[in-house]
Each structure stands twice: as C-alpha cells, then as structure tokens.
Amino acid sequence: MTTTVLSAEPAEAQVPRRKKTQLFPRILPWIVPAALAVGGLVQTDTPIPDIALYVLYLGLGVVLPGTLVHRALRGSRGNWPEDLGLGAATGLLVMLVGWALAAATGLQALLPGWPLLILVLFAAVPRLRGHWRIAEPEPLPVRWSWIMAGGLVVVVVIIYTWWRSNPLPPVTAVYYQDLMYHLALVHEMTRSMPFQVPQLAGNTLRYTYLADADMAVGSMVTRIDPSVVLFRLWILPVAATAVFVAAVLARDLAGKWWAGALGGVVAILGRPLVLGAPVGPAGGGTPLVLLSPSQVYALPLVGLLVLLAVDLVRGRRLRWAWLLVGPLALACAGAKSSALPPVVAGMLVVTVMLWFKHRERFAGALTFLGVVAAATVLQTKLFAGGGASVLGLQPFALLNGFAPYKATIGYQDKIDGSRFLPFGVANASAAGLVFIAGITVWCMLMQGPRLLSLAAIGTRRTRGEPAAWLLAGMTLSGLGAAWLLWHPSLSQAYFFIGVIPFATVGTVWLLADHERGWRPVVAGLLAGGLWSALAPPVAIPPHKVVSWAWALTWPLLRTALLAAVVIAIGLAVWRFATKRMAWRAIPIALLAAVVGAGLGSGFDQRVQDGYRALTNPPPTPNKPASEVTGAEMTAALWLQKHSGDDDVIATNVHCVAISSPDLCDARAFWVSGLSGRRAVVESWGYTDQAVAQDGVNGQRYNFQPAPEQPVYQLNQRVFQSARAADVAELRRQFNVRWLFADQRATGGVSPDLGKVATARFSDGPVTVYQLP
C-alpha cells in the first residue's frame, strides 16, 4: 500500500501539466483564424475597443446563451467546437426572439438583459445547471480542428478583401447600393413596430429584414455604430457559424469526422467547376454572397433547421427540440425569401417517401412539413415584398446573366417578365437550340460538386436513406426554381444559391459512404484541387456561337484526357506495387477529384484576391458620378448624431449618379443609411410600387418615377424654390425636422433655403437645415 501511495503522488502532481498539454493542441488551431481576423479588422481601421466589445457580446450574448439553450433542447455533441457552433446558430435565434419582444413592446432599453436572463436561468435552476459542461465528452480529432481552422482562414481572407473594398465612413467611396439600403434598415430595426420604409417615410416595410434586425441587436447592446457593425464586425462570425453548422450536418449524415470537416469547409467555400473556362456556370457560384447580408444570415439558420429535419426523418425523436422548429422556420422565412421554399419541397419529397418506406415516421415528417409550410405562408404576410412579389414563370431567364448566351443568341434580350421565354430562346434557330441545350448541360456538369449529390437516391447504399431524399428534394427544387422562374434582377438564382451548402454536403456524404480507404480520397482531392487551380485559362472568344461552344468544350475535353492519363498511370503504379488492380477506387477518386476541384477553385481565387488586397492599396472609386464624397458622409453622420431617432428628414438626393437630369437610378440609399433617419422621399428603386412597374415605358424598375408624385414634387419644390408655404406643408404632413440639402444633386439647392430654415451644419456641397 505504501508503494502505491508513493507512486501515486508524483502522478497526481503531473495531472495539471498533462491537461495543459492536451488542451493547448486543441486550442491552437482556432488561434490562427482568430488572430488573422483581429489583424484584418485593425488593418482596415476598425476601432480596437469596438472589436473587443463585439467579441464580448458574441461570446456572452449570443454563443453562450445559444449553447445552453441548444444543449437543453437537443443535448450535447460531446465536444466544444460543435456545441459552440450550433450554440452560435441557436444564439442568433434566441437574440432574434429578444429583439422581436423588444420591438413589439418598445422596451429596447432592456434588450441587453435578455441574454443575461438566460444565463441566470441556467445558473439558478438545478435541472439546467448541468448544461454548462459536457457530461460525456467525445472529443473530435485535432485533425478535424485543423481542417476547420484552415477553412476559417480562407473565410477571413475572403471577408478581408470585402473589408478593403468597403472603407468605413466618412470617406469618398462608391458603395454597392444594397449595403446602404441594409444600413438604413439596421437603423430602422432599432425602432418599434410597425416598421416603415426608411427611404419613403410612412410606407409600410415589406422585406426580409431579419439580418438587419440581428445587426441592430448587436449595435443596440454594444452601442457600436451600425455602420461599423455592418461593414466590419457582423458578417465574419455569421459566416463562420455557417461553416460549423454545415460540418455538423456532414458528420451526422456520413458518420465520419473527416467528412464533417471536409463537408463544412467545401459547403460554404467550394465553388462550381471552372477548369480554366472563360466563365463559370449560370445559377450560382458560392453561397457566401457578401453583398447580400440576408443570404449570409440565412445560411446557419437554414442549416440548423435542416439538421432538425434530418434527425426527424431518420427516426430520432425531437422531443424538446420541437420548440425550435416553428421559430426557426419563421426566422428563415424572414431572413431570405428564397430560403424556405426549397426546405418545404425537400420535406414534401421525403414525407411522401416515408409514407411508402417508413410509415412510423410519416406523422412527424408531416407535422414538420406543416410547420415550415405555414412559415412560408406567413412570410408572404409578414415579410415578403418588392422583388419577392414579382417572380414569374420564364424558363431559361437565368441565361440573361450568362455571357455565352448573352453575347450570341441572346444579344437582343431584355429582362422582360411578360414573355414566356426569353427572346433569344423563343426565336432561336435549330442550331441555336442545340447551343442552348449544350450550354445548359455544360452548366449542370460544372455544378458537379453540388449536383452529384443527387446520385445518393440512385445508389444501393443510400437510396433507402430518407435524408438523401430530403437533400435531393431541396437541390432539385432550388435548381428548378433558378432555371424556370423570372426576376427583374435575376434574383431567382438565390433559390439554388441557398441550397448549395446542402447539395455539397450530400456529395461529401456520398463520397464518405462509398470510400473504403483514404488513398483514393486524398489522391482525388489533391489532383482535383491542383488541376482546378493550375488549369490554363481559356480566353474569352469572339461573340460567335461556334467560338463560345469551343471555349466551353475544350476545358472539359482536356480535363477528361488528363484524368484518363492520370488514372492509367495510377493503376499501373498500383499494379506494379501490389500485383492487384484498383478498379473500384476509380469512381471514388473521380468523385473526390470533383469535390477537390470545386474547393480548389474557391481557394485559388480567394487566395489570389487576398494577396492582391494585402499587397495593393485600397481600390479607388472609378465611378466619379456615383461616388459619395467624404464631406457628404460627414454631414449625414452629423445628422445621425444630432437628431432624434424618430425624426423625419427631407433630402434632394435621389439618384445613384447624384446629378441625373435625364434618367434617375433611384437607389441612392446613403442619406438614410448614414444618417439613420427616415426620409420623406429619398430613393424608391426597391419599393413595391417601383418593382411592380418594371418594364413600363421600356425602363427597368430602378429607373421608374417616384411612386407618390405629389409628395415628390412637394419635396423638390422645398429645395429648389424654398417657398415658406411648401416648407410648412412638408412639416405639417410628415413632421419633417431636418433638411439635408446637397448642391450636387439634380436641381441644386435654392440660395433662399436659409431664409425658411436654420442652417446647422455645412461641409462641402451639403448643408443641414433644421426646421422650426
């Protein structure tokens, strides 16, 4: 006994040291992307206190409460990375619920206490305290963490290039108009319901604005300026959360750790095949569309909803997790109008399948289908408007954004929703129809990293797996909607873009389910990735059908020839080394090569973009007519600081090219975006009325006249004529408190405006007036 005690003492003394050596290798992978992210933020002029405060908010206000709630409803995964990833997605939903309660009651001041309430609840209730820790640890291999961390590094590089292209105001710059539109909505989401169109005060807001609500929550809790949240702090953690959710889904489906890590990375970062072709396929490149905050925000939410659906159709009881289904479906509906319909379609397909194959699961699937279908209906009542309300049926309308078609057969096409088919398709010759069929097939082939997942419902091993039918239904419905529907901005593509992560995860699942050794998988991934990155580019051809046909066909032909040579060499080497032929490894290696090529295409392009962003100065505006000057931004930010949150303003800025006497592109949303105030009439290009008028008088929706002409004319007279009666009428009708007058705007500003309003601030071409 004495010997045992003596030998035990040194072992006990070394326990803390051993735990530290085990913990550090697991933390080390995550330090790399985190350090790069912080460095990128600092390098792009993000205030360090804002970075620290937002990280604190994410940790204590989103991830920790979300992790506790998710564990309470679904249990732990047995490891911290997956638990925290799912917790972050759940935390987005939890904070959304708190925001909705605050916006409905006008108690936004209490919003910081919402996550604190959840933390206190889990600390005080004995039955909930166990969710602070993992009762039965099942840690993932450190290799999983390194693969995921590598993917997150690429996410940081992608977003860093976006940061560099979108400097923080005030600065002279050209912003993509949708970003300023979203910034105005972020400010609007800090107010109480019912919400209004910030650029057209008094009009009810009908839009999928929950991404903006999430940004507003972060701004209200931390007191960080909304522009810093939108342009810097918000998008990276949401994108990273999507990677983790996709990784959990892939591991659940395949049952292998490496498939989880690979699936998470390739689902969000992978791209279609290009193979050196002069263009990529129509219908969607990457699901990480940084210019669409709503698309990015929908990724983790839809991923979490699909995780619940997979559990259900595989026969696992959801129990308390049913409490997530309804709110989560509604959150998806309010995040992106195209997000939920493919889920409904996938659930419909798998529900029918369960009726014939697994009748005992049918009732649960039917209930789930009913909930998501109800959320889709509610979407049309609560959120959808503008572009979502003008979808029409027009097969092949997507080709209007595809250069080989647009430069040849479709050169006369206009995006006209009144036609059943695009003009070029409807009037194509026999040779033209062959070309259209060829480029359609080409697009499907190049989407191989996604569409190969459809093979899961045809292979013996997975054709009876309900989850395969769920993913297939989502993929086909998203693809079909993209190719069969019409939208004035080609936004029907988002139906497929939204299902890309799930289709890609299905392909990785198919790969993992059929592999019988690591060699073909690794060899295929490396070969596909290298060729995708190194394939010599084919030049853009002349605008001829034959030239484009060859430019698209040649990359496929040479890739097939190279693959045949590599396979022959590989078989010969394997035969020489083992005296056996590895015929069965060929399909696995080819499938892995397709996945690797999609991943390599994305990695190669993003690394090049990141290198250029690091080594070149920030881009300078090349559209002087549409740039917003630093003085104009300074004036708008001054107005934000010195006016009340509910004050209404009037402005003479309406057009993207600020001086547009002939034709006004009414998408200049920067005054309401930077000032954070509702405007009587700013820009109307995204209103329901304007979008509904698309094509009238041969003009696109954003060039249509202002929908309320008497109000618009009154607004213009105030700035151009400066009559006291007009100013009084504007004040009476809309309770306008401020005038944002820009000399550069069409029509200019009357020199007498200072006689009917008091000048409070002036910088460059802008003077801000206050009305009595």
Question: CA dist 516 to 140, 464, 511, 582, 596, Å?
Answer: 21, 20, 10, 11, 18
Task: Specify the pLDDT at position 407.
Answer: 93
- Is residue 12 over pLDDT 80? no
Kindly state the DSSP code that residue 108 receives in the 8-state scheme: G
For 155, the token pair is 């996410």
Q: How far apart are CA 89 and CA 380, in angstroms?
A: 24
Average pLDDT over residues 425-454: 96
Average pLDDT over residues 532-537: 91
The pLDDT confidence band at residue 388, using thresholds 50, 70 and 90, is low
Average pLDDT over residues 707-731: 95
Average pLDDT over residues 618-643: 87
Q: Nearest to residue 58, comparing CAs of 178, 214, 208?
A: 214
Average pLDDT over residues 629-644: 97
Q: How far apart are CA 590 and CA 523, in angstroms?
A: 9
Q: How far apart are CA 741 and CA 750, in angstroms?
A: 9
The pLDDT confidence band at residue 749, using thresholds 50, 70 and 90, is very high
Average pLDDT over residues 373-384: 92
| Residues 6 or more apart in contact with residue 24 via CB below 8 angstroms | none
Q: How far apart are CA 516 and CA 425, in angstroms?
A: 46
What is the separation, in whole angstroms, between the first and last Cα of the chain?
Answer: 92
Task: Specify the pLDDT at position 17.
Answer: 45
Cis, bond preceding 170 (omega within 30 deg of 0): yes
| Lowest-confidence region among 4-18, 577-591, 636-650 | 4-18
Q: What angle do CA 669, 673, 679 make, to 5 degrees?
A: 70
Largest CA distance in the chain: 102
- Sheet containing strand 766-770, edge to edge, reads 678-679, 648-651, 736-742, 766-770, 758-763
Task: Specify the pLDDT at position 391.
Answer: 87
pLDDT tens per residue, range 453-492: 999 999 988 999 999 999 999 999 999 999 999 999 999 9
Task: Specify the pLDDT at position 196.
Answer: 96
Kindly state the DSSP code that residue 196 receives in the 8-state scheme: B
Q: How far apart are CA 96 and CA 189, in angstroms?
A: 11
The pLDDT confidence band at residue 1, using thresholds 50, 70 and 90, is very low
pLDDT tens per residue, range 24-72: 889 999 999 999 999 999 999 999 999 999 999 999 999 999 999 999 9
Kindly state the DSSP code that residue 491 receives in the 8-state scheme: G
SS3 state of residue 739: strand
- Is residue 111 over pLDDT 80? yes
Task: Specify the pLDDT at position 769.
Answer: 97
Q: How far apart are CA 327 and CA 375, in angstroms?
A: 9
- As beta bridge partners, residue 763 has 766
- Is residue 621 over pLDDT 80? no
Helices (H), 75-112: 80-105
Helices (H), 491-629: 494-497, 500-514, 518-534, 545-578, 585-615
Give phi and psi for 766, each to the nearest 5: -105, 135
Task: Specify the pLDDT at position 9.
Answer: 37
The pLDDT confidence band at residue 660, using thresholds 50, 70 and 90, is confident
Q: Mean pLDDT of all residues in the chain? A: 92
CB count within 10 Å of CB 548 equals: 24
Task: Please check whether residue 506 is in contact with residue 515, taking contact to mean a CB–CB distance below 8 angstroms.
Answer: no
Q: Nearest to residue 689, comparing CAs of 715, 656, 712?
A: 712
Kindly state the DSSP code that residue 1 receives in the 8-state scheme: -
| Lowest-confidence region among 151-165, 406-420, 465-479 | 406-420
Which helix (DSSP H) or strand (DSSP E) does residue 767 occupy? strand 766-770
Q: How far apart are CA 552 and CA 281, in angstroms?
A: 10
The pLDDT confidence band at residue 582, using thresholds 50, 70 and 90, is confident
- Is residue 103 over pLDDT 60? yes
pLDDT tens per residue, range 162-214: 999 999 999 999 999 999 999 999 999 999 999 999 999 999 999 999 999 99
- Is residue 695 over pLDDT 90? no
Task: Please check whether residue 521 is in contact with residue 588, taking contact to mean a CB–CB distance below 8 angstroms.
Answer: yes
Task: Specify the pLDDT at position 5.
Answer: 36
Q: What is the Cβ-side half-sphere exposure of residue 532, based on CA atoms within 13 angstroms?
A: 28
Q: What is the Cβ-side half-sphere exposure of residue 483, based on CA atoms within 13 angstroms?
A: 15
Task: Please check whether residue 398 is in contact with residue 478, taking contact to mean a CB–CB distance below 8 angstroms.
Answer: no
- Is residue 21 over pLDDT 60? no
- Is residue 378 over pLDDT 60? yes
Q: What angle do CA 229, 234, 235 make, to 5 degrees?
A: 130
Q: How far apart are CA 508 and CA 524, in angstroms?
A: 13
Task: Specify the pLDDT at position 252.
Answer: 97
Q: How far apart are CA 47 and CA 59, in angstroms?
A: 19
Q: How far apart are CA 739 and CA 720, in angstroms?
A: 12
| Residues 6 or more apart in contact with residue 137 via CB below 8 angstroms | 78, 79
